[in-house]
Structure 1
Amino acid sequence: MRAFKTYFIAGLLVWAPVVITVWVLSVLVNTLESVVPSFLSPQALFGRDIPGFRVVVVLVVLFVTGILVANFLGRSILRLWEAILGRIPLVRSIYNSVKQVSDTLLAPNGQAFRQAVLVEYPRAGCWSIGFMTGTSSGEVADHLAGEHVSVFVPTTPNPTAGFLLIVPRSDIKPLNMSVDAALKYIVSMGVVAPAIPKQ
């Protein structure tokens, strides 16, 4: 019975990452394909199904859109489009919120999620790994003395949920590990320890 358990766990360790990877990729592919209208489907264009065709269509649309908004005419059209969306009450709230978050996270020169840090949480003496998302500003900064930073502390093993902490900059300890290494450490519940960076 002990041998059966050993071999079963060994097989599980081999197949679990493979199955989870395939599942994540399938969800991603299905999500991308779901945004392609039916008239651009391979059945409508070629009369038969072509696996991955809709994903290619999405990637091409994203690339072409990036080219268009990189010039003056494209930016003008984009501003007009945003002005139209800004006049629709419910759409305006959703679009502006999503756009502000995406601009912050995806900006090449942005600081969001670029630095892993240690922060004392949930109490003094207990440390959690978090990610700096910016510095406090506006009304929040007006109520705080000294420089404070925003730190997102993800939960384990689901890093998409977590807590936003606003702490003094002096209270955080910057880490040399990459964001990817920190996420692996969090998702694995501390099992996969990040390697020590070479000096």
Structure 2
Amino acid sequence: MYRRLRNSFIAGLVLLAPLGVTLFVLDFLRSKIGSRVTAMIPANILPPEIRRLPIVDFGLDMAAVVIVVLAITLLGLFSNYFLGKVLIIGTERVIDRVPFVNTVYRTVKQIVETFSKQQKAVFQKVVLTEYPRKGVYVLGFVTSVAKGEVQDKTGAEVINVFVPTTPNPTSGFLLMVPKDEIIELNMTVADGMKLIVSGGAVIPNHTQRPPQIAAEPVTISNPRAADIPPASGDAG
């Protein structure tokens, strides 16, 4: 009985987590951005007795959040034009000259670009590999085939596999695994990410997954993966 209640509680947390995070972000924007922008509104615009009403104060904060979001959106649109690109490049050059700040800025920029440019198919396939010892498996994402010095020194065909941490997939580590030690899965990258973020609680149905399409396909063959049913239309 205790185990069933515990499992039900964990399942409820998994269901409420997306809503809770969304509400947390909205409340953070309202309190940290909206309230500060609202404080800049001159006091003579609204009578004090109306301004002190909770519903009015909340409405002003949310309106300020909307204005800030629109301003960020306009900044993104402006960055697509020549003048916007020139200003952004100039700003980055100034930041690069500031010690410590330039390191933090470049690191955050690399992380954001890695996880935002989905059209480049950074993660190509979902795979399993034995780590940190034989008989223990980790879920990872193929990013590319190792080239250059790594391939020359190892003398084997090595695959770059990114293994995210749970439940924060923005951090992780890189494994360079021989191709014959990788088991390819049929689940999509999105389903693999859900499995990692949920700590294994959200398990995709492998019998209904379409084949993955990568910008630069990486062919992985492994005799141990023979018991995994191939996705429909999968060539390998």
Please state which band the TM-score falls in when normalised by the shorter chain: 0.7 to 0.9
TM-score, scaled relative to structure 2: 0.64
Tell me which of 97, 112, 128 is aligned to 2:122.
112
Tell me which of 37, 40, 52 is aligned to 1:44.
40
Bigger mean CA deviation after superposition, 17-26 or 85-94: 17-26
Identity, in percent, stands at 33
Alignment correspondent of 1:28: 25
Alignment correspondent of 1:122: 132
Q: CA deviation at 1:98?
A: 1.5
Q: CA deviation at 1:60?
A: 1.6
Bigger mean CA deviation after superposition, 14-23 or 120-129: 14-23
Q: CA deviation at 1:149?
A: 3.2
Structure 1 residues 89 and 119 mapped into 2: Cα distance closer, same or farther (>3 Å)?
A: same
RMSD: 3.5
Is the Cα–Cα contact under 8 Å of residues 104 and 110 in structure 1 kept in the other structure? no
Tell me which of 74, 81, 84 is aligned to 1:74.
84
> In structure 1, what residue type is equivalent to 2:75?
T
TM-score, scaled relative to structure 1: 0.73
Is the Cα–Cα contact under 8 Å of residues 111 and 134 in structure 1 kept in the other structure? no
Whose RCO is larger (CA < 8 A, sep 6+)? 2
Is the Cα–Cα contact under 8 Å of residues 148 and 166 in structure 1 kept in the other structure? yes
> In structure 1, what residue type is equivalent to 2:161?
V
How far apart, CA to CA, are the structure 2 residues paired with 1:161 and 1:146?
27
Q: CA deviation at 1:37?
A: 7.6
Alignment correspondent of 2:105: 95
Is the Cα–Cα contact under 8 Å of residues 29 and 65 in structure 2 kept in the other structure? yes
**Gapped runs of 5+ residues in structure 2?**
52-56, 211-231
- Count of aligned pairs: 195
**Gapped runs of 5+ residues in structure 1?**
none
